[in-house]
Amino acid sequence: MATGSAGFKVMRSIRLFAVCFLVGMFATTGRGQNNTSNSSVPPVVNVGALFTFNSTIGRAATLAIEFAVEDVNKDASVLSGTKLNVIKQDTNCSGFLGTIEALQLMEKDVVAIIGPQSSGIGHVISHVVNELHVPLLSFAATDPTLSSLEYPYFIRTIHSDYFQMNAIADIVQYYGWRKVTAIFVDDDYGRGGISALGDALASRRAEISYKAAFPPDADINMISDLLVKVNLMESRVFIVHVNPDSGLTVFSIAKKMGMMNSGYVWIATDWLAAILDSTKPVDPNTMSLIQGVVVLHQHTADSDLKTRFISRWNNKIKSSSTSSSLNTYGMYAYDSVWLVAHAIDQFLRQGGEIVFSKDSRLHDANGSTLHLAALKGFGGGDQLLEQLLLANFTGLAGHIQFDSDRNLIHPAYDIINIGGTGSRLIGYWSNYSHLSVVAPEILYGKPPNISTSSQQLYSVIWPGETAMKPRGWVFPNNGKPLRIGVPNKVSFKQFVSNNSGADNVSGYCIDVFNNAINLLPYPVPCSFILIGDGWTNPNYDELVNMVAQNYLDATVGDIAIVRNRTRIVDFTQPYAESGLVIVAPVKKMNSSAWAFLKPFTIEMWCVTGALFLFVGAVVWILEHRMNQDFRGSPRQQLVTICWGKHCEHPWTVRADHLAVCCTNYQLKLHCEPNINPHSSTAFLRDRRA
């Protein structure tokens, strides 16, 4: 049964329980059909439209759909001979009503439904349309979990929040934040979007550290309680993904709580852009709430069509006071009508017939008063769906075409920074090249470049009128300063000493500590607590124990790092290095003139002397037969052995001696008898020359 698992999804919404039962009844595999109509070119084609009229999105959609129907019926090339008739139903922001009204539309021979606006209703009636083969074209249900695999008759004519959340994750990554807090409305739209955000952040090694969800009908107290909780958390990057119709409440409460000041980062999804687009000029009170917020806005390419449409829209709303300004949802609603018109046109051209059949299993025989038998399936649903997915035309919001995953091609967002009474475009995000300051239409002509170095945004003025990028988080012990124990010493006050009050300590240790704290990229509030009575030095083991027992968060002082202390607390690197020291008893030594002999023992000196004579003897043996210098009386020869050749300048003689030993007779330092020692030059001469 197709709805076995799908029924489970519906159960998410308790309010829709009754509907869930009803949907279960449609679920069958085979259907008994009865053709009721068989005319090849019908004079009228009915299309349903399902949204909340009195909502930010709905007000724009109402007029956009009205314009679109007018244009389609005027255009002779599309649906010639057939009138497109849109039957609108108001879901009034209610999942229950929305579902009932969707069922009512099915009784009215609609070939497709434009809507629903709400992702929650989208989930429920997707089951119904799957059975009745009526395609749903939602221009506002952005929940990424409304996937085409589970709901083949659901087509999203707007970009899925999957892309928007990837855009936010790229912004978070661009600014180097690691943790964000998500504030969202706890319905299918909110949960689906935030779950996509979690996935997108995870792939960029960031995370949602806290998910703050509030129910769709939350009152001011609930939201302020939630923001109080959020404010105690570590992250200062808030992603707000709520409904346009209640979203500004979050900001007005945040502003009251001082959460729109410097240090905070607020990123809003396109709901805020829809509000700003819809109310022009924007109320200055609203603008004052959202200073410094970064907003995503569905990117729509500029075109003549768009320009003409906007001026037509503005002319229209001048004459009728109730309508809103055009927002992107209105553009997508307009394009959805055209999409349906093109598809029906193709469907009829290919010989398709608009035939409705009753589901034989929906008889009211067993006493039900729900008139379920009135629900009719569209016989040509498959072919129409096929035509819808083959769409290829340029609409108001850009090129309308679906990729193999049934997503609209070229998802892109404008990134806007609110400041003063207006907003500033700081860049674009596109699925193609991610963050960039160049419009996506230009980028599509170039090879995609998503390298980190190519990501670029213009500077942002953050909340609190600062251009400096907020750090994005605070010390988690928010508000409570760290308790730092300081020994109240009597001796060695240079290390630590109390000045006059308990909070005023000074000394070398405190200076080191303060400098280290200042090097941290975030402020850490500390309070110093003096330990000890000031009459005797405190017991440092007790001081260390206080940290271990969590009475203190840390302690600062001239505390020695010893083994049993390291077992219970962590120490910093020592700032006064004593090194590894071995203490040994000192032997008294009497100093004398012979102290210079101390380095070597007597035996060592003897060996050194013997070697001296031995080398001389070896040299004499080798030399005396051929070298004149080694001849003469025995006394002369003895001097030569011990001292080298007798010469006026003793240095040159020694050099001679060494040269002979080392260079195997090749070179000889020649001794000049009459040289002046200050300008002496030694000649190197090849002996054999």
Ligand X SMILES: *C1O[C@H](CO)[C@@H](O)[C@H](O)[C@H]1NC(C)=O
Residues that bind ligand X (CB under 6 A): 33-35, 38, 54, 90, 92, 353, 355, 361, 363, 365-366, 379, 392, 403, 407, 409, 411, 431, 447, 449, 451, 453-454, 488, 498-499, 501-502, 504, 530, 534, 541, 544-545, 564-565, 568
How far apart are CB 493 and ligand X at their closest, in Å?
Answer: 8
Which structure tokens are listed for 403?
């990729």
Separation CA 575–CA 577 (nearest Å):
6
Q: Which is nearer to ligand X, 440 or 470 (CB)?
A: 440
Q: Which is nearer to ligand X, 569 or 655 (CB)?
A: 569
Q: How many CB atoms lie within 10 A of CB 439?
A: 17
How far apart are CB 605 and ligand X at their closest, in Å?
Answer: 49
How far apart are CB 528 and ligand X at their closest, in Å?
Answer: 10
From residue 149, alpha-carbon distances to 63, 129, 400 in Å are 32, 14, 20
How far apart are CB 405 and ligand X at their closest, in Å?
Answer: 7
Q: Which is nearer to ligand X, 421 or 454 (CB)?
A: 454
> Mind spelling out the 3-state secondary structure of 567-603?
CCCCCCCCCCCCCCCCCCCCCCCCCCHHHHHCCCCHH
From residue 431, alpha-carbon distances to 156, 167, 168, 447, 448 in Å are 17, 8, 12, 13, 9
Q: Which is nearer to ligand X, 118 or 488 (CB)?
A: 488
Please say whether the beta carbons of 554 and 484 come within 8 A: yes
> Cα 432 from chain centroid?
18
Residues ≥6 apart with Cβ < 8 Å to 585:
none
Separation CA 575–CA 597 (nearest Å):
41
Separation CA 115–CA 126 (nearest Å):
11
Residues ≥6 apart with Cβ < 8 Å to 685:
667, 668, 670
Q: Which is nearer to ligand X, 73 or 246 (CB)?
A: 246
How far apart are CB 458 and ligand X at their closest, in Å?
Answer: 15
Among 390, 307, 338, which residue's Cα sits nearest to residue 139? 338
Report residue 332: phi and psi, to 5°.
-70, -30
Which structure tokens are listed for 524?
């850490």
Separation CA 288–CA 273 (nearest Å):
15
How far apart are CB 595 and ligand X at their closest, in Å?
Answer: 43
Which stretches within 91-143 are classed as H helix?
95-106, 119-132
How far apart are CB 611 and ligand X at their closest, in Å?
Answer: 55
Please say whether the beta carbons of 278 and 327 come within 8 A: yes
Q: Which is nearer to ligand X, 550 or 681 (CB)?
A: 550
How far apart are CB 64 and ligand X at their closest, in Å?
Answer: 18
How far apart are CB 34 and ligand X at their closest, in Å?
Answer: 4
Q: Which is nearer to ligand X, 100 or 660 (CB)?
A: 100
Cis status, amide bond into 116, omega within 30 of 0:
yes
How far apart are CB 283 and ligand X at their closest, in Å?
Answer: 15
Q: Which is nearer to ligand X, 5 or 366 (CB)?
A: 366
Among 580, 558, 561, 424, which residue's Cα sits nearest to residue 493? 558
How far apart are CB 392 and ligand X at their closest, in Å?
Answer: 4
Which structure tokens are listed for 301?
């390419």
Q: Which is nearer to ligand X, 118 or 181 (CB)?
A: 118
Q: Which is nearer to ligand X, 362 or 671 (CB)?
A: 362
Which stretches within 457-576 are classed as H helix?
508-519, 540-548, 563-566
Q: Which is nearer to ligand X, 105 or 355 (CB)?
A: 355
Q: Which is nearer to ligand X, 560 or 689 (CB)?
A: 560
How far apart are CB 206 and ligand X at their closest, in Å?
Answer: 19
β-pair partners for 212: 183
